[in-house]
Amino acid sequence: MDYFEYRDGVLCAEGVALPEIAERFGTPCYVYSAATIARHYRVFDEALAGIDHEICFAVKANGNIGVLGLLADLGSGFDIVSVGELERVITAGGDPAKIVFSGVGKRVDEIERALEVGIACFNVESEAELERLDAIAQRVGKTAPVSLRVNPDVDAQTHPYIATGLKENKFGVDIARAEALYARAAEMPGLMIRGVDCHIGSQLTQLAPFRDAVKRVLALIDRLAERDIVIDHLDVGGGLGIRYRDETPPSPAAYAENIRDLVADRDLKLVFEPGRVLVGNAGVLLTRVELLKPGQSEDDKHFAVVDAAMNDLLRPALYDGWHEIVAVAPRGDTQARAWEIVGPICETGDFLGHGRELALAANDLLAVRSAGAYGFTMASSYNARPRVAEIMVDGDIPHEVRARETVADLMRGEKRLPFV
Ligand SMILES: Cc1ncc(COP(=O)(O)O)c(C=O)c1O
Ligand SMILES: N[C@@H](CCCC[NH3+])C(=O)O
């Protein structure tokens, strides 16, 4: 459930009419609902009741400081993949002791900063990274808490670009090699072994792959125990899917029940790294129809050119991601026809939706739904388009939690070569 509802024929976010937001902050903009994010967090947390757990929100899904601050206040930890995300979490008031650091290519400066602030765990993805981390930790006089991200080789049954748990993917270490690597890590004076980590993919709508992965990782934990390598937490990653169109993802409760029996009798904390499921349906991209380009005949394509584009929301272009597109103030179906909802960018792939049955006129507002995850975070300034504002509605108050960039912002630091 989310808090985007029609009232008196106008789509509202927590009761605030989206046309008011468009008027005040301009379009395009992202609009998030604080109550929806809080609700999703609580539902996820409550589903895990009875399991010793930590929720570490995957910042890559939505790194807005207002969003991170809200989650930090609810008690969330964070899964980061760069020093940029680390600084965002700290600025938002997140607790470094609840941060896990994932990623296949952590730079030296990123590791140094994470050691300095004292994060909970480095999710190490290769032998070379173990060595790098050990050397840096020794140099700065710290001990780095580590998990190895293992690749359980399960098929997550999702889009190939967002499946991460197969042997052929670049992530993690082969589970068959993990014991040997743990044994090496145990010898490294700069490291302290804490956990085992895995993450098999994103937008998962089946439970079986999660269960398979957890089983395989628990078997590894048992083998490690035989070598006196003690693991205090199992990080199962993120990946729980949401409904964009007609998917039927498991509820957080079903997701928790799916693995509860496997971990029931173990002295093991579970770490979860949900991203999309917490924020995906808590945001829309609000956009205005610039102009209509209907085809010559009914069989031709009819284009509605809107002011948002693939640089603002890349998912349709990159993954053929389907997002529901609705009129903010629907005109009724009488003149509805199938519109190609496209942006102004010079790419044929610049579309937000194909063949959407809508009754449209120039200047109409549209809401692209389920845009709270991997929306703004994947935005770029392609075609020298400044990134849009992000608005958070909290109660009946819309706050600008990130201002729209300006053309001048885009050019900051750039200059012509001096003439010779
Ligand atoms: C290591 C890691 N953790 C967590 C996530 C969050 O995934 P999701 O947004 O699918 O929950 C991702 C992205 O898939 C990831 O790569
Ligand atoms: N960016 C992807 C998800 C990637 C997950 C990264 N681990 C999406 O929009 O669906």
Cα–Cα distances (Å) from 150 to 175, 349, 359, 361, 394, in that order, read 5, 35, 50, 52, 39
Residue nearest to atom 1 of ligand 2 (CA): 374
Task: Name the pTM for this structure.
Answer: 0.97
Task: Quote the pLDDT of residue 332.
Answer: 81
28 preceded by cis ω (within 30°)? yes
- Average pLDDT of span 8-34: 98
77 is in an annotated binding site: no
In DSSP terms, 293 is beta-bridged to 303
Q: For residue 134, give the amino acid letter.
A: D
Give CATH 2.40.37.10 domain extents, the chain. Answer: 4-31+280-411
Taking Cα atoms as reference points, which of 108, 111, 122, 114 lies closest to residue 90? 114
Give CATH 3.20.20.10 domain extents, the chain. Answer: 35-277
User: CA angle at residue 301 from 296 to 306, to 5 degrees?
Assistant: 110
Task: Quote the pLDDT of residue 199.
Answer: 95
- CA–chain centroid gap for 24, Å, is 27
Question: From CA 159, how far away is CA 156, in angstroms rounded?
Answer: 9
Q: Tell me which ligand sits closest to the C-alpha of residue 249.
A: 1
Task: Quote the pLDDT of residue 98.
Answer: 98
Q: Return the CATH fold of 35-277.
A: TIM Barrel (3.20.20)
Coil, strand or helix: which one is 333? coil
Q: What's the mean per-residue pLDDT of the chain?
A: 95
pLDDT in tens, 198-241: 999 999 999 999 999 999 999 999 999 999 999 999 999 999 99
274 is in an annotated binding site: yes
Binned at pLDDT 50, 70 and 90, residue 59 comes out as very high
Report the separation in Å between the CA atom of 161 and the middle of ligand 2, taken as the mean of its atom positions.
Answer: 8
Residue nearest to atom 4 of ligand 1 (CA): 238
Ligand 1 atom at minimum distance from 201 CA: 14
The enclosing H or E element of 276 equals: helix 276-279
Report the separation in Å between the CA atom of 137 and the middle of ligand 1, taken as the mean of its atom positions.
Answer: 26
Task: Quote the pLDDT of residue 155.
Answer: 76
In the predicted model, is pLDDT for residue 1 greater than 60?
no
The CATH number for 4-31+280-411, chosen from 3.20.20.370, 3.30.365.10, 2.40.37.10, 2.60.40.1220, is 2.40.37.10
Residue nearest to atom 14 of ligand 1 (CA): 202
Ligand 2 atom at minimum distance from 238 CA: 7
Pull the structure tokens for residue 70.
């809200």
Which residues does ligand 2 sit against, CB inside 6 Å? 60, 162, 202-203, 315, 319, 374, 378
In the predicted model, is pLDDT for residue 321 greater than 80?
yes
pLDDT in tens, 288-313: 999 999 999 989 999 999 999 999 99
**Are 352 and 314 spatial neighbours (Cβ–Cβ below 8 Å)?**
no
